[in-house]
C-alpha cells in the first residue's frame, strides 16, 4: 500500500460565541468525568497486561494493539466532541497508514499510529476533561444541596441538616448558606467551563505560526508535485513519439519512396506499397489522436467528468463497470486530476495486471472533494517508481491539493484511490 498525502490547510478558528458553549461544556464535562474514568482505567489495564504478557507467546501484543486503537478511538471521540461544542475547525482524526505491504508494513502502521502527535494531543485533552469532569460532579452535587437549603425554612423547625454531610444548622442560616453555596458552585462551574475552553484550544488548535508553516509546506508540496507531474508527462509524450509515431512515420516515408521508384516499372507493386502506406497513415493518425487525448481530453471540458469517464470506459480493452455519482461541475484542475488517474489505472490494468475486469467508482463527498476508486482483478504487485505512470498520477493529484493511495498486494487485486478538492 502506498499513500501520498497532502496536508490540508488548517481552517481558521471559528469559535462559537455566547453562553451556550459554557453550559454545554459543563454538561459534557459531567459525562466525561464518568465515562473518561472508565476509559482511562481500561487503557491502563490494557497497557499493563500487554507489557506483562508480551514475553508469553506474544499474547501481550494483542492487548497492546487494543491499547493503541482504544487510544485512537478516545482521541477521535474527544476531537469530535470539542469540535461539536466549540467549532474550532479542528479536522477529524484519521488512522495512519505506513504504505508498506505485509506484516512488517502493518507493524510500521501500528507504530506510526502510536507516535501520532494529533492523537496524543487529543488524548491529553480528554485526560484534562476527565479531571475537570471529576471536579464538576461534586460541584453540581453541592449546588443541588445548596438549592435544597433555600427551602429549609418552609419544611423544618429550628434546625436543618445539610444533605450528604450530617451537619445540622439553624434554619435561619440555611437560606444564606444556600445562596452562598449556589453562587460559589455556579462560579466554580463557569470557571471550569472557561478553563476547559482555553485548554482545549491551546492543545488542539494549532497556533497561527503553525498554520502558516503548514500552508507554506502545502504550497511547496503542490508546486513540487506540479513540476514533477509536468516532467513525467513530458517524458511520456517524448517516449510515445519516439517509440510509436516517429518510427511509423519513418517507415511510411520509406514505403512511399519505394512506391515512387516502382510506379513506372512495376505498377502493381507500387499500388501494393501505396495501400500499405495508406494503412500506416491511418494507424499513425490513430496514435496521434490517442496521444492528443492523453494530453488533453476535450470531452472533459465540453461534457464533464461523467461523460469523459464513460468514453474512457468504452475504449478500455477490458470490461469496466462504471459507477459515477457527482452533481454539478468542479474545477478543471480537479476533474483533470481524477480523469487522468482513472485513465492511467485502466491502462495499467489492461497492460500489466493481467486482469479481466475493472471497476471505477466516483463520488462527490459532502466535504467538497471528488473521491475515485479504480480496482481490477489482476495479479497485483503494482508499485510507484520515478517516471512511471503511477508516479505521474500521484504528482498530478498532489499538485491539485489531493491525496492518492495505492493498494496492490502480490496476487491482487490492485486498487487506486484518489481524493481531490473540488475547488482546487
In total, the chain counts a number of residues equal to 424
Which pLDDT does position 10 carry in this prediction?
43
Least confident of 30-39, 41-50, 67-76, 315-324: 315-324
Which pLDDT does position 38 carry in this prediction?
94
Q: Give pLDDT tens digits for 168-210.
A: 555 556 667 778 888 888 999 999 999 998 899 888 886 565 5
Alpha-carbon 280 to chain mean position: 48
- Name the most confidently modeled range: 9-13, 193-197, 400-404: 193-197
Mean pLDDT on 75-95: 86
C-alpha cell at 348: 495499467
Distance, CA of 245 to CA of 170 (rounded, Å): 104
Which pLDDT does position 8 carry in this prediction?
40
Tell me the three state secondary structure of residue 165: coil
Residue 406 has pLDDT above 90, yes or no: no
* Residue found under cell 491551546: 202
Mean pLDDT on 7-33: 68
Nearest to 416 by CA among 351, 369, 362: 362
| pLDDT-based confidence at residue 86 (cuts at 50, 70, 90) | confident
Residue 253 has pLDDT above 60, yes or no: yes
Residue 210 contacts by C-beta under 8 Å, 6 or more apart in sequence?
10
Mean pLDDT on 4-17: 44
Which pLDDT does position 3 carry in this prediction?
43
**How large a percentage of the chain has pLDDT more than 70?**
73
Which pLDDT does position 289 carry in this prediction?
67
Domains and CATH numbers, the chain: 7-206 (no CATH), 226-295 (1.20.5), 298-424 (3.30.565.10)
Total H helices, total E strands in the chain: 13, 8
Q: Is-contact 370 364, C-beta < 8 A?
A: yes
Q: Is-contact 201 13, C-beta < 8 A?
A: yes
Distance, CA of 2 to CA of 45 (rounded, Å): 34
| pLDDT-based confidence at residue 41 (cuts at 50, 70, 90) | very high
Distance, CA of 416 to CA of 320 (rounded, Å): 15
Which pLDDT does position 72 carry in this prediction?
93
* Residue found under cell 481530453: 297
Strands (E), 147-205: 159-162, 167-170
Residue 124 has pLDDT above 90, yes or no: yes
* Residue found under cell 516502382: 262
Taking the CA atoms of 302, 303, 306 and 312 in sequence, report the sign of the dihedral they define.
negative
Average pLDDT, the chain: 77
Residue 105: burial class (beta carbons within 10 Å; 0-12, 13-18, 19+): middle
Q: Is-contact 397 344, C-beta < 8 A?
A: no
Least confident of 156-165, 213-222, 262-271: 156-165
Distance, CA of 2 to CA of 292 (rounded, Å): 29
Least confident of 242-251, 276-285, 407-416: 242-251
Distance, CA of 354 to CA of 350 (rounded, Å): 7
Distance, CA of 248 to CA of 284 (rounded, Å): 7
Taking the CA atoms of 162, 165, 167 and 173 in sequence, report the sign of the dihedral they define.
negative
Distance, CA of 416 to CA of 159 (rounded, Å): 77
- Name the most confidently modeled range: 92-106, 132-146, 372-386, 401-415: 132-146
Residue 12 has pLDDT above 50, yes or no: no
Q: Is-contact 401 421, C-beta < 8 A?
A: yes
C-alpha cell at 292: 492528443
Least confident of 92-106, 146-160, 364-378: 146-160
Least confident of 3-7, 43-47, 64-68, 312-316: 3-7
C-alpha cell at 100: 508498506
Mean pLDDT on 278-283: 78
Amino acid at each position: 500500500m502506498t499513500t501520498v498525502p497532502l496536508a490540508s490547510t488548517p481552517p481558521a478558528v471559528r469559535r462559537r460565541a455566547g453562553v451556550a458553549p459554557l453550559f454545554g461544556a459543563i454538561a459534557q464535562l459531567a459525562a466525561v468525568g464518568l465515562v473518561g474514568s472508565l476509559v482511562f482505567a481500561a487503557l491502563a489495564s490494557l497497557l499493563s497486561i500487554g507489557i506483562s504478557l508480551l514475553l508469553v507467546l506474544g499474547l501481550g501484543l494483542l492487548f497492546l494493539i487494543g491499547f493503541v486503537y482504544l487510544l485512537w478511538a478516545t482521541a477521535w471521540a474527544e476531537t469530535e466532541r470539542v469540535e461539536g461544542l466549540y467549532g474550532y475547525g479542528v479536522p477529524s482524526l484519521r488512522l495512519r497508514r505506513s504504505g508498506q505491504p505485509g506484516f512488517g508494513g502493518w507493524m510500521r502502521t501500528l507504530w506510526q499510529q502510536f507516535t501520532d502527535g494529533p492523537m496524543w494531543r487529543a488524548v491529553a485533552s480528554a485526560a484534562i476533561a476527565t479531571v475537570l469532569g471529576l471536579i464538576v460532579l461534586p460541584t453540581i452535587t453541592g449546588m443541588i444541596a445548596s438549592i435544597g437549603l433555600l427551602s429549609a425554612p418552609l419544611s423544618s423547625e429550628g434546625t436543618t441538616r445539610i444533605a450528604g454531610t450530617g451537619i445540622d444548622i439553624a434554619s435561619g442560616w440555611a437560606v444564606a448558606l444556600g445562596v452562598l453555596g449556589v453562587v460559589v458552585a455556579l462560579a466554580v462551574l463557569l470557571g471550569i467551563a472557561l478553563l476547559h475552553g482555553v485548554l482545549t484550544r491551546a492543545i488542539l488548535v494549532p497556533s497561527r505560526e503553525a498554520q502558516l508553516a503548514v500552508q507554506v509546506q502545502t504550497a511547496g508540496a503542490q508546486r513540487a508535485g506540479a513540476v514533477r507531474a509536468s516532467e513525467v508527462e513530458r517524458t511520456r509524450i517524448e517516449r510515445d513519439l519516439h517509440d510509436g509515431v516517429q518510427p511509423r512515420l519513418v517507415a511510411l516515408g520509406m514505403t512511399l519512396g519505394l512506391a515512387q521508384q516502382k510506379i513506372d516499372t512495376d505498377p502493381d507493386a507500387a499500388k501494393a506499397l501505396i495501400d500499405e502506406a495508406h494503412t500506416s497513415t491511418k494507424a499513425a493518425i490513430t496514435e496521434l489522436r490517442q496521444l492528443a487525448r492523453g494530453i488533453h481530453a476535450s470531452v472533459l471540458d465540453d461534457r464533464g467528468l461523467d461523460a469523459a469517464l464513460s468514453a474512457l470506459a468504452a475504449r478500455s480493452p477490458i470490461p469496466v463497470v462504471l459507477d459515477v455519482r457527482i452533481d454539478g461541475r468542479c474545477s478543471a484542475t480537479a476533474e483533470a486530476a481524477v480523469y487522468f488517474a482513472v485513465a492511467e489505472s485502466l491502462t495499467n490494468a489492461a497492460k500489466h495486471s493481467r486482469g479481466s475486469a475493472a471497476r471505477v467508482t466516483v463520488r462527490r463527498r459532502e466535504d467538497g472533494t471528488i473521491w475515485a476508486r479504480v480496482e481490477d482483478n489482476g495479479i497485483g504487485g503494482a508499485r510507484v517508481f520515478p517516471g512511471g505512470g503511477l508516479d505521474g498520477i500521484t504528482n498530478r493529484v498532489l499538485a491539485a491539493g489531493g491525496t492518492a493511495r495505492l493498494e496492490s498486494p502480490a496476487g491482487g487485486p490492485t486498487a487506486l484511490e484518489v481524493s481531490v478538492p473540488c475547488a482546487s
